[in-house]
A and B are shown apart, each in its own frame.
Chain A
C-alpha cells in the first residue's frame, strides 16, 4: 500500500538499555510515505521504547533516527521543532486533564505553532469533527469515555499536521466495546494515506489496513513482512506461534 518510495522514518542500529537490561539490541527499520507498520511482540520486548526512540522522548544509547530527512539523534537539532510534526498517541491517552477537549487540541496550535486564536479554533473544531467529537468539545477529559478520550488525543496530534503518527497501544486501556471507535478513526487515517507506526495487538486492524507487520522479541526484529504472509505463512515457527495466539484472541 505504500504510495511512494519517499522515506519518512529511518531507524539505524538503535540500541537502548535500562541499567543492565538491553531493551533494544540494534534495531534498523525504514518506513516510507503512506506505509502503515504494525509492531507486535510479547510485552517487554521494546516496542514502546522503539516508538519513543523515534521522537526522542526516549533517547537511544546509540544508533541514528531520521524523520523526513532530518536526523533527530543529532544533538544539535531543535528536537521540539521536529516533534511538532510527529504525532504520538499513548496507551493511557494523556489528555491534559485541566483542559476541555477543544482546549486540548488548541494548546499546541496556539502555543507551539503560534496560530491566531480564531484560526486555531476553526482548525481544532475541524479535527474534533474528523474524529466525530465536535459535540463534546466543551467536555473535560473526566467527562469523556476512554474511547472518546483517545479520539480527542488523536485529534490533538492530527491538528499539528503530522508527517507520521506513532500509536503506542492505543486501544489497550479501553473497554472492549470502545475499541472499535478508535480503530475506525485509525483505519480512516490509514486510508487517507497517513504514515503510521502502531504498537498494537489488534490483529484485525493489522490484517485490514497495515502494509507491514513487524514482529519483535527480546529487543530485536525477528521477522517482518506483509500481513498476508505474516499471518498465514510466516518463515519462522515462533512468528506463527505468536501471531496465531493473538489471532485466536481477537
Chain B
C-alpha cells in the first residue's frame, strides 16, 4: 500500500523532468540531426567530412562522459541550469545518432527519384523537400524508434548533474527508507512503460503512413 500512496507519487514528481529532458533531447536531436544528415549527403565534400568527424567522435565516447564534458564546457561559457545543460548535452549526443539514421534513410531513397525531380525543373531544395524527405521519413521511423527508446533511458544520466528526474527520486527514496528494491523496481516499471508506449505509438505512425502497394 505504501508503494502506491507514497513511493509512486514521490517518484512521479520526477516524471515531468524525465519527459522534458527526453523531449528536448529527441526534439533538438532530430532538428540538428536532420540538418546534419542533409548537409552530409548534399552539402559537398568538405562539409560531409566535417560532419562525419562530428558523428564519429560523438559515437565513440560513453554518453555519461560526454554529458560531463559538454556540461562543464557549456557551464564555462554560459550560466545554464543543470536541467538545461543536461538536456542540451543529450540533444547533442542524440543529434549524432539521428544524423546517421536520417543519412541512411535519405540514401535508401533510389537515386532516380532525385533525377526525376530535377528533370521536371525542381531545384535541389524543392526536390529534397517534396520528394526525398517524405520518403526518407518513412524509412527512418523504425531506427528512430530505437533511438527514442535509448534517449528515454539516457535521460536518467542527467541525474549525475543533480537533476531530480525519476531515477534520482528513486534513489532519494531508497536512501531515506532503506527500501532500494521497491524503489528501483518501480522506476524500472516506469521506464518500461515509457519506452513501450513510445515504440507502440511509432509503430502505429509507421503503419499509418505506409505507402500502399
Contact = CB atoms under 8 A, between A and B. Distances in A.
Nearest to B114: A94
Interface stretch (B51-59, B118-126, B162-170): B118-126
Interface in B117-149: 117-123, 126, 130-131, 134-135, 138
Given A94-B116, A97-B135, A98-B138, A108 B121 contact: yes
A88 interface: yes
A112 B115 contact: no
Given A108-B121, A112-B126, A96 B213 contact: no
Contacts of B213: 140, 142-143
Q: Which of A57, A87, A153 counts the most B-chain CB atoms under 10 A from its CB? A: A57
B62 interface: no
A156 B120 CA distance: 8
A60 B156 CA distance: 56
B116 A81 contact: no
Name the interface size band of chain B: 20 to 34
Interface in A64-87: 80-87
Given A96-B131, A97-B211, A140-B212, A112 B112 contact: no
B81 interface: no
Bin the interface of chain A by size: 20 to 34
A85 B130 CA distance: 20
A107 B119 contact: no
B70 to A, nearest CB: 37
B118 A57 contact: yes
Contacts of A157: 119-120
A55 interface: yes
A92 interface: yes
Contact of B121 (A83, A94, A96): A83
B49 to A, nearest CB: 22
Given A97-B135, A98-B135, A108 B212 contact: no
Contacts of A80: 118, 121-123
A48 B211 CA distance: 30
A82 B113 CA distance: 19
A196 B170 CA distance: 73
B113 A97 contact: yes
Contacts of B130: 107, 111
A138 to B, nearest CB: 10
A97 B116 CA distance: 11
Nearest to B115: A57
Given A97-B135, A98-B138, A112-B126, A142 B120 contact: no
A57 B115 CA distance: 7
Interface string B97-120: 000000000000010110111111
18 contacts: A57-B118, A80-B121, A82-B121, A83-B119, A83-B121, A84-B120, A85-B121, A90-B112, A92-B112, A94-B115, A96-B131, A97-B135, A108-B121, A112-B121, A112-B122, A156-B120, A157-B119, A157-B120
Interface of B: 110, 112-113, 115-123, 126, 130-131, 134-135, 138, 211-213
Q: Give 3 nearest A-B pairs by CB, closest first.
A: A142-B213, A84-B121, A94-B116
Interface of A: 55, 57, 80-88, 90, 92, 94-98, 107-108, 111-112, 140, 142-143, 153, 156-157, 160
